[in-house]
A and B are shown apart, each in its own frame.
Chain A
């Protein structure tokens, strides 16, 4: 089955602009999580969506937002871009996003590499 698809793979923006990244999860997966990866901070959790509802949000400013559609596809948006937003943005899908004691494995996409000039 197809994996997690992220678009675009690469993009260059300038400070002050905004960007929208897209993620199509594995068919049947209802949870989509977003992570930011930088050399200095590693992987940092941005937010998670399940059934079009934001379940969790990481410690990022309000310029970072997201949403999930009824077909589980998700988008994240970063407004008023700053140089420090340059990073690899990773989307991951999993079967469920519920609060439960069971473990859940994440399947990541290849990421969208954003460069802010």
Chain B
């Protein structure tokens, strides 16, 4: 069955540094991968989507890579700020499922210290 893992439950970094979060998946070759941000008591918010034929995607201070050989996506936040502190989730479409049927990783809680 499909599996998706986010290696770190928590990541603590200093303000200004680059945060790198990892998402690995198995038993599947997804057409795309998504990253969401979730703040406490709120629903996830979509950040970036990267397709299987894209190596890298950028949005302001965010960068996502997608290595279909390694079955891995890396999510980078450059020049991190305390406001970036949140839980970040990666998600894949479920094989054979419809568009609303995503498999989510359990998330990495990022804490950026001033």
Contact surface of A with B, Cβ cutoff 8 Å? 4, 31-33, 35, 42-43, 45, 48, 50, 55-56, 58, 90, 92, 94, 96-111, 113
Contacts and interface: CB of A to CB of B under 8 A. Distances in A.
A106 B51 contact: no
A58 B34 CA distance: 20
29 contacts: A31-B99, A33-B100, A33-B101, A42-B107, A43-B89, A43-B104, A48-B99, A55-B98, A55-B100, A55-B101, A56-B94, A56-B97, A92-B43, A92-B100, A94-B99, A98-B99, A103-B32, A103-B51, A103-B93, A103-B99, A104-B100, A107-B46, A108-B36, A108-B43, A108-B44, A108-B45, A109-B43, A110-B41, A111-B42
Given A103-B32, A103-B51, A97 B45 contact: no
Contacts of A111: 41-43
Contact of A4 (B31, B43, B102): B43
A58 B101 CA distance: 9
Interface residues of B, number: 26
Nearest to A99: B98
A104 to B, nearest CB: 4
Contacts of B44: 43, 90, 106, 108
A97 B100 contact: yes
Contacts of B102: 45, 106
Contacts of B46: 105-107
Nearest to A49: B100
A51 B34 CA distance: 25
Given A56-B94, A97-B99, 12 more contacts: A31-B98, A31-B100, A42-B89, A48-B101, A92-B100, A96-B99, A97-B100, A104-B99, A106-B46, A106-B100, A108-B44, A110-B43
